[in-house]
Structure 1
Amino acid sequence: MRSPRIEFAVGAFLLLALATLLVLALASTNGRWGGHGDSYPLKARFSNIGGLRPNAPVKIGGVMVGEVADIQLDPVKYDSIVTFAIQGKYKDLPSDTAAGIFTAGLLGESYVGLTPGGDPTPLKPGDELMLTQPAVDLLQLVGKYMFSGAGKPADTPTPTPAAPDAATPTTE
């Protein structure tokens, strides 16, 4: 027969484990459940987004100010249109803000870096950033470097022996 104390201990342990999982889930979502809360959308057009994914961070000076909400393909120009969800407290970004896609570390995750400009007029929700920098494809760069001969020294002409000068006496 089972003892009620053992059943109570197992139940308490199970509740403690579930509470721990709930705290970990809350911590991994930065305290948000579901939507983006107080945020507004901005868009940017890139020719290459590399490994950028939805929910990737959007940063200004290394500080997270939002996240990538959506990535679509423009059916006419075949550019990637990236929509950001920027936190509401950063609503006064200048209209000449630039966006670039960067990688955290050598092989880390991709993120969007914003560089605010100096224009006094702020961006409105839904505006498109005009100044963008596409992602850099590291494998393509390494391939170009390796197979273009960039690692070899420059071809220098080898000195040829000088012809004997008529004014120089030769000893025979």
Structure 2
Amino acid sequence: MQQRNWAEVATGALILLVAAAFLVFAIGQSGRSLSTNGGMTLTARFDRIDGLAPGADVRIGGVKVGSVLEQRLDPRTYLAVLRLSLQPGIELPTDSSAEITSEGLLGGKYVALVPGGAADMLRDGGTITITQSSVSLEALLGRFIFSVTQMNASGGGQEQDGEKAPAPAPR
């Protein structure tokens, strides 16, 4: 009986070890990390960050250079505040900008950094002051549909001298 209990404990320990190894492998392959790895941490404030979550990519020129560490709401200004982690060796001019963009029509969101041209560089803990918030695809589509509906309602058929203009000839 003692032999069987020892075998069960050893089997359980082996399973936990394999699960831990798989977790470390999965995190390493995802490109995400559990720490800032000694890189620079920056802050940026946005009006809206729709669909952006902690762990999202931070990119310069389409190349991943960091990730979003944290997001919170500033209770005084009601702006979304992001804390960004950049890889070691990345330096950004003080007039750099940050914008939230998407990978495509159905893709995830990420923070795109656009380096400026200033001689001074942002320091660890610095703030990116030039930001562009997330563009809501639903809001743009709604505005487009509304404008097309309004255009059709007000000028569906153009009148000439009180009469409707003839329809264009088919091609």
1:88-126 deviation line (CA, Å, top 9, x unaligned): 110x21000000000111021110000001001000111
Q: Is 2:68 aligned against 1:68? A: yes
Q: 2: CA distance between counterparts of 1:67 and 1:58?
A: 5
TM-score calculated relative to the size of structure 1 = 0.74
> Quick check: 2:32–2:67 contact (8 Å CA) kept in 1?
no
Mark the CA change 1:161 to 1:84 in structure 2 (over 3 Å): closer, same or farther: closer
Deviation at 1:24?
Answer: 4.1
Structure 2: runs of 5 or more not aligned: 1-10, 164-171
Q: Is 2:90 aligned against 1:130? A: no
Paired residues, number? 148
CA-based RMSD of the aligned residues comes to: 2.8
Structure 1: runs of 5 or more not aligned: 1-10, 163-172
2:37 counterpart letter in structure 1:
G
1:58-85 deviation line (CA, Å, top 9, x unaligned): 0000001110011111110100111100
TM-score calculated relative to the size of structure 2 = 0.75
2:133 counterpart letter in structure 1:
P
Q: 2: CA distance between counterparts of 1:51 and 1:120?
A: 34
1:68 counterpart letter in structure 2:
V
1:70 counterpart letter in structure 2:
E
Other-structure match for 1:159: 160
Alignment of 1:4-43 (within 5 A): 18=18, 21=22, 24-30=25-31, 32=33, 34-43=34-43
More helix by share: 2
Percent identity, please: 36
Deviation at 1:30?
Answer: 3.1
Look at both structures and tell me which one has the larger radius of gyration over its CA atoms: 1
Deviation at 1:148?
Answer: 2.7
> Quick check: 1:55–1:67 contact (8 Å CA) kept in 2?
yes
Deviation at 1:31?
Answer: 7.8
Deviation at 1:27?
Answer: 3.7
